[in-house]
């Protein structure tokens, strides 16, 4: 992590999914949730690139977007919050595994 970042990309990515949904739900303004999701994603991509390189950043970015998209159909089966927490956890695990492996 850089001196400017004290929170690992793993937490930023998971927090972006959870926070983006929470903001969209509580404000009833989906674009505002999208801004939070995109902002956290941008920070996470920067850190993923810095710690794992281009391949890691591209792969984890795709996982981040897939998690966001996948939370919608999953929510129809298990509910909104469980879906959001599940996909956020999946992104966090993927981020941890890829960046841990890259750092080794």
pLDDT value, residue 100: 83
Q: Where are the domains of the chain?
A: 9-103
Residue 101 confidence class, pLDDT cut points 50, 70, 90? confident
> Which of 3-17, 47-61, 63-77, 80-94 bottoms out in mean pLDDT, i.e. has the lowest?
3-17
pLDDT value, residue 88: 98
pTM of the shown model: 0.88
Note the pLDDT tens digit of each residue in 22-34: 999 999 999 999 9
Residue 21 confidence class, pLDDT cut points 50, 70, 90? very high
| Residue of 88, 103, 101, 95 lying closest to 9 (CA atoms) | 95
Give the tokens for residue 49.
């690139």
């Amino acid at each position: 992590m850089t001196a400017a970042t004290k929170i690992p990309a793993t937490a930023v990515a998971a927090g972006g999914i959870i926070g983006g949904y929470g903001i969209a739900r509580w404000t009833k303004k989906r674009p505002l949730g999208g801004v939070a999701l995109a902002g956290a994603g941008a920070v996470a991509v920067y850190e993923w690139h810095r710690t794992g390189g281009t391949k890691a950043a591209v792969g984890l970015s795709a996982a981040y977007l897939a998690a966001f998209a996948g939370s919608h159909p999953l929510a129809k089966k298990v509910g909104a919050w469980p879906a959001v927490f599940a996909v956020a956890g999946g992104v966090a695990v993927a981020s941890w595994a890829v960046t841990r492996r890259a750092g080794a």
